[in-house]
Structure 1
Amino acid sequence: MELLNVSNLSSNPLLLSLIPIFSLLIWLKLAKGKNMSLPPSPPKLPIIGNSHQFGKLPHRSLRDLSKNYGSLMLLNLGYNPTLVVSSVDTVREIVKNHDVFFSNRPRTTVRKRRRNRTSHQQNPFYLCRRWVQQVWGTGEKANGSLHRFLCWRYVPYLRWVDVLTGYIPSMKALSAELDGFLIQVIQEHRAVESREKNFVSIIMKHQKDGMFEDLTQENIKAILLDMFVGGTDTSATATEWIMAELLKHPNAMEKVQQEVRNVVGNKSKVDQDDITKMEYLKCVVKETLRLHPPVVFVPRKTSASIKLEGFDVPSDTTVLINAWAIHRDPKWWENPEEFIPERFENSSIDFQGQDFHYIPFGFGRRDVPRSFEL
């Protein structure tokens, strides 16, 4: 999600000139819902709404806001109404009574393109965001490029403004650079029949044997992108958090080490059967995903107007379920800020999203890990 950088407004005369248009659109949006009983909302600023309240760590900022305005809170990000949910009871009500109306995902540029995996290279935003994050990381330079005021994000038909300000051309340039890199990887593997059994060489071999003869270069680029980015990012991040927590808690580290030694013994490799026997390791993983969920916000979009906890929620409202806040709710977790793997011993809580106070991969119809298992 692109967050609003308010400082860009004062330094950009073109954006300042659009203030009347934004104000009118927001006024019309508010007027449309004046007879509705909407969820509570923090005070808004003209044009940007509540975007300035996101902060550098939105999951923390929104958790703090919910303490004052309730676990069901309506924000306005420019022209976009966004419902923030930070309550287990609300999540349960959504799943039990309204799941079909909360099953849509926000239709961002990235998501619309990802529905067709062969179209990755036509989407400059998906490619360049991942490329910038891989090359620049998530530091100040990357944030300066990615987290900036985007007119089309808040008022979609003002996309031309982002063309004039240079954002879209710069994203297309980064996209072309990444696309060239993927093409180079494919061509190098096609030119030399590698003895090394890496992922690309296996695809090339099967394609040569006629198994993947319908697989185009665009298909292969899309597969590579998903493997390098989607297939490694969350796993690598989770592993880093696990190691960080174990380093901070040497007693837990010692228990994991002892369990591995007891289960594996003198074998040179650890297999899947060994992992299923490591009960304390499973607790460590679960506790790490509780404190540091890979899906901090579970995104949804309403497909119809509904009543939720007595409030009116309009159709086409973006919904953000703050999993990070739910995982640290003292109502459901004792000492929620502490790393205590033992809390999962003899517990039936799993990754499937059926326990609504533990949703590291989402829940309901859009739940991710139906087959996730340690």
Structure 2
Amino acid sequence: MFRDIQIPSLNCHEDLPLFTSLVVLVILLLLNRYWKKMSHTSLNDDGILQLPPGPWKLPLIENLHKLALAVGSLPHHFLTDLAKKYGPMMHLKLGQVSAIVISSPNLAKQAVKIFSYRPGLLALEIMSYNYSGIIASPCNGYWREMRKICGLELLSAKRVQSFSSLREEETWNLVQSITQLSQPINLSEMIFSTLNNITAHVALGKKCKHQQEFTSLVHETIRLSTGFGVPDLFHSIQFLHHATGTKSVLEKLHGKMDMILVDIINDHKQVLQSQRTAGEDHLQEDQDLVNVLLQLQESGELQFQLTTNHVKAVTLDMYFAGSETSAATIEWAMLELLRNPRAMDKAQAEIRQLVAGKRKIQEADIKKLNYLKLIIKETLRLHPPGPLIPRQANERCKVNRYDVPSEAKLLINVWAIGRDLKHWGPNADCFEPERFQGYSIDFRGTNYEFIPFGAGKRICPGLSFATIIVELALCQLLYFFNWKLPNGTKPQELDMTESVGMATRKRNDLNVIAIPFIL
């Protein structure tokens, strides 16, 4: 949910010609400026900065040629390959961005304690109402207060439990929908639809007439939110924001989303007014996020002025992070189980033994499903929702023995850490849930070799909310159906290619045959 946003791949089919031409243009325009700065940027009061090792740099464009050559590959894969050559802490210079990439648990532990700010990105600036949300806001008093509010009012154990009937209803609807469709089915599409329904209910309310359009706009925004786009690599050159067309598209998307949010907020205000008129002026346990924020806004009890833009930004945060990450995890878990029939059989045997005879599964039924929890852990290790955790240095500092320049972007490669042979053994790339058997390691930010939800101050506050949804949905799918691949496809032939997006989901939808087992 409010997890660390990953930096997705370049959109190679659309951006490459424009990217190349713009790089050439930037070189010509900034030749004099870069030339003058080259002899000064690596100097400080003590002499030369001791930067981490990294690839050799070309004059002026520095490591941009590496990025251009990597177009078409995902950044976390590309950076993992570079780290094998240059080490677990390396330095890249990409346009105007000085990037420090970390690929080891020990260095990640140091980094999250030092860096709590997020790097500025064009998409975040526009879509979060100038960094007014929790995801994009700097670590200041407002951010701490809003995170506390969300933790207490929306994501506490009590509040998470209050939405249990909603989760049970929506995952049961998923089961019923599967049985009514001709085979094979697009399981990816159905999983993401279910998670969107749950998130829309929690964030926007029970009857959101704008849900389909809003979801479509969110998905388009995610597709365009790239940390490696030209405007983000040359952030101070304003005309590039317009020349690429990215800013214009984001502003149009934002305008449409803003109109929907205004309509939703006005509807909520009318309902709240009606409740007060009827003498129901209190906060219900199952209130959606917009209601919670509006009542806090009206109460005046906060230490800062909670504006309507704040309400919009935090609501967008919930919607952005609440559905994509959980749905992607369910999708990858099903994919890995299809590729590993033995694990699938073991999971189904455990579920069907402990939940035998049930017509509907409730959240209380899944507490004793130990092997299912191992499957989810192993899925998160291999397919973390946000494979790159971005941070930014506010001032010059040191990590390990190396200098980190002021305003440098720090990227923690969670994907690489989760596949590190030193910590996970020679079969680190293999799906083996049993590796967690009797192993107390957890994903709550204390074991840095396993941080799919981040760590430190910015760890995902919605971790418990996301986990229970993933457990319940997987339990329903494995209990009520047996699964086969269509057209004689063999498990080892399944496409494992990842897609561009806020959550690293499967690039191509997963189509499967669902055979009812218990109905």
Give the conservation status (yes or no) of the 8 Å contact 2:132–2:310. no
8 Å CA contact 2:421, 2:428 repeated in 1: yes
Aligned to 1:32: 41
Paired AA for residue 101 in structure 1: I
Q: Any conservation in 2 of the 1:190–1:204 contact (CA below 8 Å)?
A: no
Structure 1 runs not aligned, ≥5 long = 121-127, 193-200
Whether 1:47 and 2:39 are equivalent positions in the alignment is no
2: CA distance, partners of 1:222 / 1:295: 20
- C-alpha contact 2:133 2:317 (8 A) present in aligned 1: no
Give 3-state SS (helix, strand or coil) of 2:40's partner. Answer: helix
Q: Letter of the 1:365 partner, please give it.
A: K
Task: Give, as a single letter, the amino acid of the residue that structure 1 aligns with 2:233.
Answer: Y
Structure number with higher relative contact order (C-alpha < 8 Å, ≥ 6 residues apart): 2
Q: Tell whether 2:17 aligns with 1:7.
A: yes
Residues 108 and 448 in structure 2, CA contact (< 8 A), matched pair in contact too: yes
Which residue among 249, 257, 260 is the counterpart of 1:178? 257
Q: State the partner residue of 1:364.
A: 456
| 8 Å contact kept, 1:289–1:360 | yes
Q: Which residue of 2 aligns with 1:116?
A: 132
The equivalent position to 1:104 in structure 2, one of 111, 114, 117, is 117
Name 2:237's counterpart in structure 1. 158
Residues 290 and 129 of structure 1, relative CA distance in 2, 3 Å threshold = farther
Shift of 1:221: 4.7
Instruction: Specify the SS of the correspondent of 1:253.
Output: helix
RMSD: 3.9
**CA distance in 1 between partners of 2:289 and 2:398 (Å):** 53
Q: Distance in 2 between matches of 1:213 and 1:272?
A: 35
Which amino acid letter does the alignment assign opposite residue 19 of structure 1? I
Q: Matches of residues 13-92 of structure 1 in structure 2 within 5 Å?
A: 16-27=24-35, 28=37, 31-34=40-43, 35-45=48-58, 46-47=60-61, 49-50=63-64, 51-55=67-71, 56-92=73-109
Is residue 2:433 matched to residue 1:341? yes
Cα deviation for residue 205 of structure 1 reads 12
Q: Does 1:237 pair with 2:328?
A: yes
Separation (CA, whole Å) in 2 of partners of 1:252 and 1:371 = 25
CA separation of 1:337/1:260 partners in 2, compared to 1, >3 Å: closer, same or farther? Answer: same
Give the paired residue count: 347
Q: Indicate if the aligned counterparts of 1:54 and 1:62 stay in contact, CA closer than 8 A.
A: no
| Residue identity opposite 1:134 in structure 2 | H
Secondary structure class of the residue paired with 1:298 = strand
TM superposition shift of 1:105 = 1.9
Give the aligned residue type for 2:325.
Answer: T
Return closer, same or farther for 1:30/1:87 CA change in 2, 3 Å cut-off.
farther
Asked if structure 1 preserves the Cα contact closer than 8 Å seen for 2:325 and 2:385, the reply is yes
1:171-320 equivalent positions in 2, closer than 5 A: 171-183=250-262, 221-222=312-313, 224-320=315-411
Residues 102-111 or 312-321, more deviating: 102-111
Q: How far does the alpha carbon of each residue in 1:251-305 deviate from its partner, in whole angstroms, 9 at most, with x for none?
A: 1111111211222222333333322211100000000000000120111112332
CA distance in 2, matches of 1:54, 1:351: 30
Range moving further from structure 2, 246-255 or 177-186: 177-186
Residue of structure 2 in register with 1:195 after alignment: none
The Cα of 1:206 is off from its aligned counterpart by 6.7
Change (3 A) 1:33 1:240: same
Tell me the equivalent position of 2:246. Answer: 167
Q: Are the equivalent residues in 1 in contact too, given 2:117–2:392 (CA < 8 A)?
A: yes
Equivalent residue, structure 1, for 2:139: none
Identity over the aligned pairs, expressed in percent? 34
- Specify the code of the residue in structure 1 equivalent to 2:319: F
AA in 2 matched with 1:40: P
Alpha-carbon distance, 1:9 to partner: 4.7
Query: 1:304·1:314 contact (CA, 8 Å) conserved in 2?
Result: yes
With normalisation by structure 1, the TM-score equals 0.77
TM-score, normalized by length of structure 2?
0.57
Call closer, same or farther: CA 1:257–1:17 in 2, change over 3 Å: closer
Match of 1:124 in 2: none
> Who is 1:125 aligned against?
none
**Aligned 8 A contact 1:131 1:178 in 2:** no
**Secondary structure, in 3 states, of the residue corresponding to 2:237?**
helix
Superposition deviation, residue 134 in structure 1 = 2.1
Q: Does 1:134 align with 2:226?
A: no
CA contact (8 A) 1:73 1:83 kept: yes
